């Protein structure tokens, strides 16, 4: 410890362009004490360690040379957390329990790490709705909401913040905390201030068509997710089909991850026709939903997907189709 901390003090002092005398005056000790530490012939009293770390604006761990080890462990935790977050893993109850346990152990070591908080929140949201009784556990959802609130404050990725906001809205809807949703809405931008629509104002010939396309796709995608979440049974099946037609006109059959939206729209149309006892159309639309589900899985597993895609989408699979069959 003597050699490590002395060498670190010397390294930090030189980094900041300070003399031994400057450090000594700041800490209220002699120049000789600093010299002994840096030469490895002595070391600071433990009660001085926080003051030294504060003086150089580093953590105590970094002062003792542990910071690199911690950063390496944290990177490993985050990498594993996102590997475990793949949909095929998350949809299995046994895996879900292992994922939760892993994240709680990681957070016990790194309690303020927003990426781990965000992952645990997502796991808890899935867990809350995976009870064999079919009931939503609101206590678990509230813990998930608290974790997302904390992670959102520390997150430095605007795209991820949007995802967190979307998840929070979903959680508060399930809980029935509409006051929270109103508070979030009061701080949010209107549709015409979204980045997609703002970019569409660029009239440069090379970019305008692309940005306009992105804005249209974004609006249609949000409309699809809106009607899917609302599950409004009074909507006519032709409404869902008209949205699907918009996708057809824009994407010309190359849907990529938007196959998820097409699947949802045909599922909604299928279910509506089934309620109206039109079995022939219901089956036909369900078959289209199934084909888009398969295409979505293929697009999702592509390693290089440079095509435009939604920033957030519903992960559709065969299990989901069976649930709506």
pLDDT digits (tens, 9 = 90+) for 170-194: 899 989 999 999 999 998 888 888 8
Name the strand (E) or helix (H) holding 115: helix 114-128
Alpha-carbon distance of 181 to 167, in angstroms, equals 11
Q: What is the pLDDT of residue 38?
A: 86
Q: At what angle do helices 2-15 and 20-27 cross, to 10 degrees?
A: 110
Q: Which of 67-81, 172-186, 216-230, 299-313 has the weakest average pLDDT? A: 299-313
- For residues 124 and 140, the answer to whether their CB atoms sit within 8 Å is yes
Indicate if the pLDDT at residue 17 is higher than 90: no
Place of tokens 């295409």: 295
* Residue that wins the pLDDT comparison between 307 and 196: 196
Mean pLDDT for the stretch of residues 275-303: 91
Indicate if the pLDDT at residue 133 is higher than 80: no
Q: Which CATH class is domain 2-65?
A: mainly alpha
The pLDDT tens digits for 219-229 are 999 999 999 98
User: Taking the model in full, what pTM does it have?
Assistant: 0.62
Matching CATH topology for 2-65 and 68-187? no
Q: What is the pLDDT of residue 232?
A: 77
Q: What is the DSSP letter of 16?
A: T
Alpha-carbon distance of 313 to 325, in angstroms, equals 21
Q: Which CATH class is domain 68-187?
A: mainly alpha
Spell out the long-range contacts of 237-245 with Cβ–Cβ below 8 A and sequence spacing 24 or more.
237/268, 237/269, 237/272, 237/273, 237/276, 237/281, 237/285, 240/265, 240/266, 240/268, 240/269, 240/272, 241/265, 241/269, 244/269
The domain limits of the chain are 2-65, 68-187, 231-324
* Residue that wins the pLDDT comparison between 293 and 59: 293
- The percentage of residues in the chain with a pLDDT greater than 70, rounded to a whole number, is 92
């Amino acid at each position: 410890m003597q050699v490590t901390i002395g060498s670190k003090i010397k390294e930090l002092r030189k980094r900041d362009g300070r003399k031994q005398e400057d450090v000594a005056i700041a800490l209220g000790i002699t120049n000789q004490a600093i010299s002994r530490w840096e030469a490895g012939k002595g070391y600071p009293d433990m009660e001085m360690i926080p003051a030294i770390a504060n003086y150089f604006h580093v953590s105590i761990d970094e002062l003792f040379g542990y910071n690199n080890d911690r950063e390496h462990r944290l990177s490993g935790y985050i990498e594993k957390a996102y590997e475990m977050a793949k949909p095929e893993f998350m949809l299995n109850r046994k895996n879900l329990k292992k994922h939760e346990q892993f994240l709680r152990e990681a957070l016990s070591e790194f309690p303020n790490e927003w990426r781990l908080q965000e992952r645990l929140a997502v796991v808890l949201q899935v867990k809350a709705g995976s009870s064999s009784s079919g009931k939503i556990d609101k206590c678990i959802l509230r813990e998930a909401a608290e974790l997302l609130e904390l992670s959102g404050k520390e997150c430095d990725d605007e795209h991820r913040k949007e995802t967190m906001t979307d998840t929070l809205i979903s959680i508060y809807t399930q809980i029935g905390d509409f006051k929270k949703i109103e508070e979030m809405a009061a701080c949010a931008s209107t549709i015409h201030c979204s980045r997609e629509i703002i970019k569409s104002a660029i009239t440069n010939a090379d970019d305008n068509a692309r940005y306009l396309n992105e804005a249209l796709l974004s609006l249609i995608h949000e409309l699809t997710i809106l009607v899917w979440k609302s599950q409004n049974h009074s909507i006519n099946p032709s409404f869902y089909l008209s949205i699907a037609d918009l996708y057809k006109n824009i994407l010309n059959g190359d849907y990529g991850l938007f196959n998820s939206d097409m699947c949802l729209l045909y599922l909604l149309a299928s279910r509506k026709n089934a309620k109206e006892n039109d079995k022939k159309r219901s089956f036909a639309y369900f078959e289209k939903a199934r084909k888009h589900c398969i295409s979505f899985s293929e697009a999702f597993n592509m390693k290089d997907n440079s095509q435009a895609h939604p920033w957030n989408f519903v992960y559709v699979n065969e299990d989901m189709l069976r649930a709506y069959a």
